[in-house]
Amino acid sequence: AQTVTQSQPEMSVQEAETVTLSCTYDTSENNYYLFWYKQPPSRQMILVIRQEAYKQQNATENRFSVNFQKAAKSFSLKISDSQLGDTAMYFCAFMKNNNDMRFGAGTRLTVKP
């Protein structure tokens, strides 16, 4: 079974600074997808960024980028120029070539003014 591990239950960062959230996963599959989702307090879960395992290039979405290390089964999220609105729970997720998505336990990120 695929498992997703987020080793940092809580993190904090100063506004405008950079923070990296860690995620590792375990799988024997070669083709799969990885995601980072954001769940702000009392608000809906939204997709932040996605990465296809067959792509070597790291995905980037504005201030959000990933460091995808396939051999190490690592998928970290870097948030640059942190903003107060980035305060949220961040979930790393893994999905094979079907609809079964597995989530990590989440990292609670607080951006401090």
Cα(85)–Cα(69) distance, rounded to whole angstroms?
A: 28
Q: Does 105 bind other proteins (CB under 8 A)?
A: yes
Which of residues 28, 30, 41, 43 is near other proteins by CB under 8 A? 43
Q: Which is nearer to other proteins, 16 or 46 (CB)?
A: 46
- Tell whether residue 25 is a contact of other proteins (CB under 8 A): no
Question: Quick one: which segment of 19-27, 67-75, 78-86, 103-111 binds other proteins (CB under 8 A)?
Answer: 103-111
By CB under 8 A, is residue 101 in contact with other proteins?
yes
Q: Which two tokens stand for residue 15?
A: 């506004």
Within a 10 A sphere around the Cβ of 61, how many other Cβ atoms? 12
Establish if 61 lies at the interface with other proteins (CB under 8 A). Answer: no
Q: Which tokens in the block code for residue 34?
A: 């990885």
Q: Is 92 exposed, middle or buried (0-12, 13-18, 19+ CB in 10 A)?
A: buried
